[in-house]
Chains A and B, each alone.
Chain A
Amino acid sequence: MSIVVVASGKGGTGKTTIATNLAQIAGLLGEHVVYLDCDVEEPNGHLFLRPDMTKNIPVGIPVPKVDDEKCTYCGLCADICQYSAIVCIKDKVLTFPDLCHACGGCTRVCPTDAITEVERTLGVVEEGLSDNIKFIHGILNIGEAMSPPLIRAVRAEGDKEGLQIIDAPPGTSCPVITAINRADFVLLVTEPTPFGLNDLGLAIDTVRQLGLPHAVVVNRSDPDNKIARDFCRERGVDIIAEIPDDRRIAEAYSQGELIIGALPEYKETFIELFENIEELLSTAKVE
């Protein structure tokens, strides 16, 4: 099994475009592909791969529930909680499930077994098929702040074999780390603008901190593409594909179409990208 993550520091650089087209090409080339959309706040992969969903699994975390009969108001639960999700005032214990990280500390510490854990739903994981690609995504409930457990649940549904392509959320903080940690390879998508490259720099720092092999795809690139090439040379990362700034791509995207479907002349570009990744994966594994 190989895990390839498609990520970017900044949103809207074309991460989903690259991930969905790559999945489709890999599928056409006979790979066993699992597409995991871990951008659970704004999942969009399904708009392009249009899977038929077959499974819908609610995902939750265990949060404390206090039995007033057994509670002695000792306050130990409130002391151990780092997130102020359980509070003890005189003769009342209050819980704030929205703040709870489900660490289990309060339940473990309670001397009278007054706490049991109940499930709090964060969102759902849906599973389906798009041609021969296994498609999995997570949808975070509206108003929900806690996305990492749902991202973990999406990843856990992935198969133990084949090529797993993960569409990661944008940024560099906890949701992204949850989506890319322990991957075999990270593909960083950027665009050749000052904002795009600034955020690419942060994304490079992140994958290096995690010690993950990585390379760059420049999206909406112009023919000479100097600023992105200079930037990547300076930072010592390879550019393994450049997708030109073609208005027809933007139009296909706006309609929810895959590039390789709407504009078959780009098939070759994605086949090359896929082969480059395969090669980098095999060298990364040898190392």
Chain B
Amino acid sequence: MKEIVVISGKGGTGKTSLVAAFACLADRPVLADCDVDAADLYLVLEPHILRQEDFSGGKQAKIISERCDGCGICMEVCRFDAVKKDIHPDNPGQMKYIIDPIACEGCGVCVYFCPQKAIDFDPPINGKWFISDTRVGPMVHARLGIAEENSGKLVTLVRSEARRIAEENGHPYLLVDGPPGIGCPVIASITGADLVVVVTEPTVSGEHDLDRVHKLSSHFGVPTVVCINKHDINPEVTERIFEESRKNDMPVVGKIRYDNSFTKAQIMKSSVIEYTHGPVVEDVKETWAGILGAL
């Protein structure tokens, strides 16, 4: 089984649309949507959910006010500015301490040092993850709760479930829709993969992001190839990306023309392969062939 992770640096380069298109071309793929912050693949693949589980990332501290005597130690030890104090509503002579759940990092230091044992420390439910069936194959996806941390952990979970399904059922490919950026969720998506495909655009930002993403994938020793989307909006930058990629041992495996069929396909909840027979489909097919060639 080969695991292919599609990422993009910034996002918004057509990554998810391309994953949906590759899914239609691949031989019996399993899909994993690891862009858990902005999970969009389901809008095209319309999964039928077979199994649903709660995800719990880290713990969160909560002061039980009946037990708190207002000593203020929690505020003193918290390094994340998460403990707030206010005049006690029932007793103006005393301070009332509360923890801002959004600022709380879940480190548990206040819990340990509270002399009254007045702080609860439970793992809240931070999201859900799903195993589903789609028209192109099984899919593992997730929804991270609003303003939650630990998306890296959720990414790892989604990936390993998808891997398990692919291995147990002899699927030849696992296609991962990766998150944007180069931080914790991206690191969680690419480590140990067989191939990273970076979808970029010929813009100065695209170039800049590609460079950072490439440094990241080489840092983790994952072979990397590039796909230039909308290559015709700036031929000059496209040419530069070709050259840079050659130098950096990160071959360009395909370029795809600017075509609003991608948007139209999205509106029809289909991939561009299902939506049109236009020339852009040839670009996508060639890119997919290039990816298989690089494996």
Which residues of A does B touch, CB under 8 Å? 9-13, 16, 41-42, 44, 47, 80, 82-83, 101-105, 108-109, 140, 142-147, 169-177, 181, 193-195, 198-199, 202, 205-206, 209-210, 227, 247, 250-251, 253-256
Residues of B contacting A181 in the complex (Cβ-Cβ under 8 angstroms)? 102-103
Return 17 A-B CB contacts under 8 Å, by A number: A12-B8, A41-B183, A42-B181, A44-B10, A44-B205, A82-B58, A102-B79, A103-B80, A108-B77, A142-B182, A142-B216, A143-B219, A171-B151, A172-B148, A173-B37, A206-B146, A250-B233
A202 to B233, CA, bound (A): 30
Q: Check B102 against A170 for contact (C-beta < 8 Å).
A: no
Q: Within 8 Å of chain A (Cβ to Cβ): is B134? A: no
- Interface on chain B toward A: helix, strand, loop, or mixed SS? loop
In the complex the two chains form, what is the Cα distance from A165 to B77 in whole Å? 32
Q: Would you call B147 and A11 a contact (CB within 8 A)?
A: no
- Cβ contact of B183, chosen from A103, A140, A195, A247, cutoff 8 A: A140
Contact with A along B164-185 (1 / 0, CB 8 A): 0000000000000001111111
Residues on B with C-beta less than 8 A from A83 are 107
- Interface members, chain B 204-254 (any A CB < 8 Å): 204-206, 208-209, 212, 215-216, 219-220, 233-234, 237
Let me know if B112 and A109 touch, CB within 8 A: yes
- Closest residue of chain A to B113 (Cβ to Cβ) is A108
Complex contacts, A173 vs chain B, CB 8 Å: 36-37, 144, 147-151, 185
Which residues in B have some Cβ–Cβ distance to A below 8 Å?
Answer: 8-13, 16-17, 36-38, 40, 43, 58-59, 77, 79-80, 102-103, 105-109, 112-113, 144, 146-152, 179-187, 201-206, 208-209, 212, 215-216, 219-220, 233-234, 237, 263, 266-267, 269
A108 / chain B contacts, CB cutoff of 8 Å: 77, 109, 113
A202: chain B residues at CB < 8 Å are 37-38, 146
The answer to whether B108 and A174 touch across the interface, beta carbons within 8 angstroms, is no
* Closest B residue by C-beta to A46: B208
Knowing that A82-B106, A102-B79, A177-B102 touch, tell me 19 more A-B residue pairs with CB under 8 angstroms: A9-B38, A10-B12, A11-B11, A11-B12, A41-B186, A44-B209, A47-B205, A80-B112, A82-B107, A103-B105, A142-B212, A144-B183, A171-B179, A172-B37, A173-B37, A202-B37, A206-B146, A251-B233, A254-B202
Pick from A101, A171, A176: contact of B107, CB below 8 A: A101
A163 and B106 CA atoms in complex are apart in Å by 33
Which residues of the partner chain B approach A105 to less than 8 Å between Cβ atoms? 77, 107-109, 112
Pick the residue among A101, A169, A253 that contacts B181 (CB under 8 A). Answer: A169
Instruction: Name the A residues within 8 Å of B151 (CB-CB).
Output: 171, 173-174
- What residues of A have a CB within 8 angstroms of the CB of B234 in the complex? 251, 254-255
Please give, as numbers and ranges, the residues of chain B lying within 8 Å of A253 by CB-CB distance: 203, 205
B109 touching A80, Cβ below 8 Å:
yes
- The smallest C-beta distance from B205 to any residue of chain A, in angstroms, reads 4
Give complex CA distance A254, B229 in Å.
13
Q: Determine the distance from Cα of A104 to Cα of B77 in the docked complex, in whole angstroms.
A: 8
Nearest Cβ distance between residue A198 and chain B, in whole angstroms? 6
Q: Which residue of A lies closest to B144 (CB)?
A: A173
Residues in A with CB closer than 8 Å to B206 are 254
- Choose among B16, B37, B79, B206 the residue with the greatest number of A CB atoms under 10 Å from its CB: B37
Interchain nearest-CB distance for A242 vs B (Å): 17
Residues of A within 8 A of B108 (CB): 80, 82, 103, 105
The answer to whether B12 and A146 touch across the interface, beta carbons within 8 angstroms, is no
- Determine if B147 and A42 form an interchain contact, defined as CB atoms under 8 angstroms apart: no
State which of A41, A103, A193, A210 has its C-beta within 8 Å of the C-beta of B147.
Answer: A210
Decide: A10 near B38, CB < 8 A? Known: A80-B109, A108-B77, A174-B149: yes
Inter-chain contacts of B220 with A (CB < 8 A): 143
| A195: contacting residue among B43, B179, B185, B186, CB under 8 A | B43
- How distant is A183 from chain B, measured CB to nearest CB, in Å? 13
CB nearest neighbor in A for B205: A44
Q: Are B38 and A12 in contact (CB under 8 A)?
A: no
Q: Are A193 and B205 neighbours in the complex by a CB distance under 8 Å?
A: no
Given B43, B146, B181, B205, which contacts A198 in the complex, CB threshold below 8 Å?
Answer: B43
Residues of A with C-beta under 8 A to B209: 42, 44
How far in angstroms is the closest Cβ of chain A from B79? 5
Whether A172 contacts B181 by the Cβ 8 Å rule is no
> Is the beta-carbon distance between A82 and B59 smaller than 8 angstroms?
yes
- The answer for the CA separation of A202 and B39 in the assembled complex, in Å, is 10
Q: Which residues of chain A are within 8 angstroms of B43 by Cβ–Cβ distance?
A: 194-195, 198
Bound Cα distance from A143 to B237, whole angstroms: 26
Complex interface: chain B residues within 8 A of A227 (CB): 267
Among residues of B, the one whose C-beta sits closest to the C-beta of A191 is B12
Task: Please name all residues of chain A whose beta carbon is closer than 8 Å to the beta carbon of B179 when the two chains form the complex.
Answer: 171
Q: In the complex, how many angstroms separate the beta carbon of B254 from the nearest chain A beta carbon?
A: 19
**CB-based nearest B residue for A205:** B146
Inter-subunit contact B204/A256 (CB<8 Å)? yes
Given the interface contacts A147-B183, A195-B266, does A10 sit within 8 Å of B11 by beta carbon? Answer: yes
Q: Which residues of B have CB within 8 Å of A10?
A: 11-12, 38, 40
Whole-angstrom CA separation of A103 from B102 in the bound complex: 16
A255 to B201, CA, bound (A): 12
Contacts of A251 in B (CB 8 A): 233-234
**Residues of chain A with a CB closer than 8 A to B106's CB:** 82
